[in-house]
Structure 1
């Protein structure tokens, strides 16, 4: 007994005809008749009662048909599971990450992911959150790390929430304070990221709520350069706490930003109701498994 024989038998029952069943399983009518006869011989009993040109299931045929459906369904489930497994062996992880904070958050994850799924091809693109959101919406990536709140029909799972720190020159008059708000910084030039970085939106929206119109002196996409510009006295900048402490040196001071709704909240995001490939699901599972590991300060 094999699955092709069972499939031929099931199609004869469904179609009510050996000739139509042959078309469904891409066999000749004689091959379908032979398959049914072979099954009857293996079971030791007729499966059809043939009355003229019409065939009806016997009691044994009813049992065989019911059991054949179960076996074929199990075969389908088996193929689906194997395809998912093979997807993790040969699939592609299409992921979008922002330049800010991705190394600290995801480098260790990539190492574990590569160890577990060495055959997976990783397609990585890097943009600011606005551009990443557009890439995700267009289906160019399956998962993207975006700042919350995200715009669009997306689902997400949290990765990390960090307060913002103000990065000031060590000679700044406010450098000795424990915390500041945007009113305190209204006379200081701002050094921001380039357009398209969602962190700018968080900062500028908070300034608007505070009634502050900041003067932007410089924009850059490079954290190291921004911090060096602060140290050179060109203005103040804003970084998530974990990144601010990583770049702390003698020429700058770090102060907590005392402003509501300014946390750097990053999440892994995907399109709502979209099919997530096995490689992307495995990435999300790994992110949940590894969790949010605190950074010591």
Structure 2
């Protein structure tokens, strides 16, 4: 079983097909197809169900894919650790950050980090927390900022904890209240982020604990657009208090969400037991030094 064969198989799954995977691994579609077939023959089980227009994982394929991601990540860790031992630092920080809160919390650190470590190249990936965790688990980044709780597959370091705020039009009956809970908001439509944002899970899980599923009228990945939709009366939106405080110009009411287990708790996370490069460790050290945690 070759590392390249596992990587090709993982890319077929990740990209959702052979043609896109071929572009990612810089090979022909025929080569990619043969590599997957070779892996299936070697293991003696089909890994992909090729019926229809899209290949899907079989039960055996799910096991092999999960194990392949761990093997590939361990290989990358091994090479990085050996490079540092030999004094050939790669000088790359592969960092994943979510759109929500990063400009306030992390932008000041970038300038300090760049001044302190000018030889380190920062490769930034931006997605919602859930997607970042998938990319981190695959070994494609070293660190990610994600909302707690996270699975036991990750270790973490505190960044910030903030209460959530309900964003309402000024004409809303609750607009002048100092705080509210989800029970008082259940009859109003919700505006959420796009799929993959951890903040959605916090809100939806809290609604289910209250015994209801909210009506979702809009989703977006843009904070300012979500704020404008809420101000215009389309529905109620939710954001960490510190982000709302940075936007005093918004034409909306901001009411603290006094709801158990809905705090926005952000942390830097990494794969449990993974080797952290010099660049990654330096970022974590700087975060502690700057008292973000």
Instruction: Please confirm whether the aligned pair reaches a TM-score higher than 0.5, indicating the same fold.
Output: yes
Count of residue pairs the alignment pairs up? 211
Contact kept in structure 2, 1:170 and 1:250, CA below 8 Å = no
Aligned position for 2:204:
204
Q: Which residue of 2 aligns with 1:220?
A: 220
Please give the alpha-carbon distance, in whole angstroms, between the structure 2 residues aligned to 1:292 and 1:257. 23
Relative to structure 1, the CA distance from residue 80 to residue 146 in structure 2 (aligned partners, 3 Å threshold; closer, same or farther) is closer
Q: What is the aligned partner in structure 1 of residue 155 from structure 2?
A: 155
Structure 1 residue ranges (4+ consecutive) displaced by more than 2 angstroms after TM superposition: 79-83, 247-250
State the alpha-carbon separation in 2 of the partners of residues 136 and 265 from structure 1: 19
Q: Are the counterparts in 2 of residues 166 and 257 from structure 1 also a CA contact under 8 Å?
A: yes
- Report the CA distance between 1:259 and its aligned residue: 0.5
Farther off after superposition, 211-220 or 158-167? 211-220
CA contact (8 A) 2:152 2:272 kept: no
Q: Which residue of 2 aligns with 1:111?
A: 111
Correspondence for 2:46: none
Name 2:141's counterpart in structure 1: 141
Stretches of structure 1 lacking an aligned partner (at least 5 in a row): 1-78
Q: Which residues in structure 2 correspond to 1:232-271 (within 5 Å)?
A: 232-249=232-249, 251-271=251-271
Measured against aligned partners, the alpha-carbon deviations of 1:39-75 in whole angstroms (never above 9, x if no partner) come to xxxxxxxxxxxxxxxxxxxxxxxxxxxxxxxxxxxxx
Contact 1:93-1:120 at 8 Å conserved across structures: yes
Task: Give SS of 1:183's match.
Answer: helix
Q: How far apart are 1:244 and its partner, in Å?
A: 1.4
Deviation at 1:188, TM superposition (A): 1.0
* 3-state secondary structure, aligned to 2:184: coil
| Whole-angstrom distance in 1 between the partners of 2:173 and 2:257 | 16
Equivalent position SS for 1:282: helix
Name the CA shift for 1:236/1:157 in 2 (closer, same or farther; >3 Å): same
**SS of alignment partner, residue 201 of structure 1:** helix
Q: Secondary structure of the residue that 1:111 maps to in structure 2?
A: helix
> Contact between 1:227 and 1:247, CA under 8 Å: does it hold in 2?
no
Taking the aligned partners of 1:81 and 1:287, their CA distance within structure 2 comes to 25
SS at structure 2 position matched to 1:206: helix
Residue aligning to 2:288? 288
Structure 2: segments with no counterpart, 5+ residues: 1-82
| CA RMSD in angstroms, aligned pairs only | 1.7
The CA deviation at 1:213 is 2.0
Question: 2:167 corresponds to which residue?
Answer: 167
Q: Is the 8 A contact 1:182 1:212 kept in 2?
A: no
